[in-house]
Amino acid sequence: MLDLRYRSLDYHEMDGLLHLGGTILGATNKGRFAAKTGHGEVRRIPDEICEQTKRNIDQLGLQALVCIGGDGSLTIAQQLFERGVPVVGVPKTIDNDLEATVMTFGFDSAVACATDALDRLRTTAQSHHRVMVLEVMGRYAGWIATHAGIAGGGDVILIPEIPFGYESVCAKIAEREREGKKFTLIVVAEGARALGGGFVETTGDQDREARLGGVGMVVAAEVEKRTGKETRVCVLGHLQRGGGPTTFDRLLCTRFGARAVQLIADGMYGYMVALRPPDTVAVKITEAIGRLRTVPVDGDLVQTGRALGISFGD
Ligand code: F6P
C-alpha cells in the first residue's frame, strides 16, 4: 500500500490459492506500519504513513481495504479506519487469540501440525524411555498447546495462562514412572512462564513485538536435572505456519472471505467478520482488539485435560 507494489487478483489469478498457507502478496504488519511493539504496546502509526496509504488507495481506485490478520494487523486496520480508510477485517492467526470470534483461520492447521509432531515424538519417548518436550507457538495464549496437547495425548501442558512449578511437573513424571510409564510428553507454549518467572524471549527490535521462544530448552534442562531422566526438546517453530491448510481452515477462510465482500457491499467499514457458530457475523474491529482472548483456566478445555490426568504444572 505504501510503495504501490500491487497485484490484481482477478478471477484467473485466484486459481490454486486455496491450498496455500502464508501470503502471496508479501503483506506485513511490521516496519513502517507496525502498530504493536514489545509485549503488546500499541503505537500510533505516523500520520504521513496513513496519508500515503489513503492517496495510494485513491490512485488505485480501490473501494475498500480488506485487512487479514491477527491482533497486530487489525490494530493497524482500526487506526487506518479511524483516519478515513474504508476497511473491513478478517481474523487470521495461528494464535487464535482474537476476541469477538470463536476461531481465527490458521489455528486449526497449526494445531494439526503440533498434534502430528506429538504423535511422532511419542515413538522416541516410548522406545527410549525419555521425556520429550515440544515447544509450540501461540504468543501469550495457550490455545495451540492445549488443543494439541489434549488431542496428541500430552501428559503435561504448560501454558501462559497457568504459571507452572517444576515440582508439579516432576511429580507427574514420577507418578507415571510408578505406573510403569517410563516416558512423558510435555507440551510447552512459547509464552509459558514458571511461577514468579518471566517470558523466555530473544532480545528483539524495539519497532516490533517481542520474539518469544526458548522456554522448551529451559524446561527440558530443569526437568533432566531434577529427575535424572534423559530429556529432549523439539521446537516446532514455523513448521506450524506453513504447508497446506486443513479442510476446516479452507472452509473457514472461504466463509470469512465471502462475508467480507458482503460487508463491503453493505458499506460496513470498521467491521470484522467473526465466527459465532453456526454463523459468521460482523463485529466492530474494536471488539476484537485491545484485549487478547486467552484460554479460560476454569473452562471446559482445561477441565477436560485435568479430568484425563494431564498436569498443567500448577
Ligand atoms: O502471531 C503468530 C506467531 O506465529 C506467534 O505464534 C509467534 O510468536 C510469532 O508469530 C512469530 O513471529 P515471527 O516469525 O515474526 O518471529
Q: What is the pLDDT of residues 77-129, one digit of tens each?
A: 999 999 999 999 999 999 999 999 999 999 999 999 999 999 999 999 999 99
Q: How many Å lie between the centroid of ligand 1 and the Cα of residue 181? A: 34
pTM exceeds 0.75 for this model: yes
Give the nearest ligand 1 atom to 138 CA: 6
- pLDDT at position 26 is 87
Total Cβ atoms within 10 A of residue 142? 32
Per-residue exposure over 26-42, b if at least 16 CB sit within 10 Å of its own CB, e if not: eeebeeebbbbbeebee
| pLDDT tens track for 267-290 | 999 999 999 999 999 999 999 998
Residues with catalytic roles: 95
pLDDT in tens, 173-218: 999 999 999 999 999 999 999 999 999 998 767 778 899 999 999 9
For the chain, percent of residues with pLDDT exceeding 70: 100
Cβ–ligand 1 distance for 70 under 6 Å, the answer: yes
81-85-86 Cα angle (round to 5): 90
How many whole angstroms separate alpha carbon 125 and alpha carbon 145? 18
Ligand 1 closest atom vs CA 191: 8
Closest residue to atom 12 of ligand 1, CA basis? 211
Q: Judge whether residue 254 has pLDDT over 80.
A: yes
Mean residue pLDDT of the chain comes to 95
The answer on pLDDT for 18 being more than 80 is yes
The helix (H) or strand (E) run that includes residue 265 is helix 247-265
pLDDT score recorded for residue 45: 94
Q: Going by CA atoms, what residue is nearest to atom 13 of ligand 1?
A: 211
Rounded to whole angstroms, how far apart are CA atoms 132 and 129? 9
Written as nine digits, the cell of 168 is 508439579
How many whole angstroms from 86 Cα to the centroid of ligand 1?
Answer: 27
Cell of 22: 502464508
Q: Measured from the CB, is residue 141 less than 6 Å from ligand 1?
A: no
Q: Are strands 211-212 and 184-189 parallel, antiparallel or unpaired?
A: unpaired
Q: Is 139 in the pocket of ligand 1 (CB under 6 A)?
A: yes
* pLDDT for residue 32: 87
State whether residue 87 is helix, strand or coil: strand
Q: Does the beta carbon of 155 sit less than 6 angstroms from any atom of ligand 1?
A: no
Who wins on pLDDT, 209 or 63?
63
- Look at residue 226 in the predicted model and tell me its pLDDT: 98
Distance separating alpha carbons of residues 26 and 281, to the nearest angstrom: 28
How close is the Cα of 143 to the center of ligand 1, in Å?
14
Grid cell at residue 256:
470469512
What is the model's pLDDT at position 98? 97
Q: What is the pLDDT of residue 205?
A: 75
Test site for ligand 1: of 36, 76, 92, 95, most ligand atoms within 8 A of the Cβ: 95
Q: 137 CB under 6 A from ligand 1?
A: yes
- Which ligand 1 atom lies nearest to the CA of residue 72? 1
